[in-house]
Amino acid sequence: MSSTTMSEDSNKPIPSAKPAAGAISVPSSKRGLGGFYHELMREMRKVSWPTTKEANRLTGVVLAVCGMMVVMLLVLSTLVDQLMTLITKGGR
């Protein structure tokens, strides 16, 4: 049976007072935009930002991995194209 009951004077369900099992409660924010900004700035101060040297090194790693993926996909695409050409044209 569901967690809602039917009202006696109408066919509209009446929600039960307690949430369903496993439901996540969402707090209502009453602080507005100013409270959000204050909380955002407080969290940003907690962030451990990388040094310029570390950021440059990690950028290089990302670019190298992207380059390797481009080469790998280009080779794979060429191989599949050649294989499909060989299959469809019968090796002519």
Report the helix count and the strand count for the chain, using DSSP H and E. Answer: 2, 2
**pLDDT string in tens for the chain (92-residue length):** 555 555 555 666 665 556 666 777 655 556 788 888 988 999 999 999 899 999 999 999 999 999 999 999 999 999 999 999 999 987 56
Backbone angles phi, psi at 16, to 5 degrees: -75, 160
Predicted pLDDT of residue 3: 54
Cα dihedral across residues 50, 56, 58, 62: positive or negative: positive
Asked if residue 35 lies in contact with residue 29, where contact means CB atoms within 8 angstroms, the answer is: yes
Predicted pLDDT of residue 52: 96
Predicted pLDDT of residue 72: 98
Predicted pLDDT of residue 32: 80
Task: Identify the CA nearest to 15 among candidates 81, 83, 23, 34.
Answer: 23
Task: Identify the CA nearest to 17 among candidates 27, 30, 4.
Answer: 4
What DSSP character marks residue 76? H
Predicted pLDDT of residue 34: 84
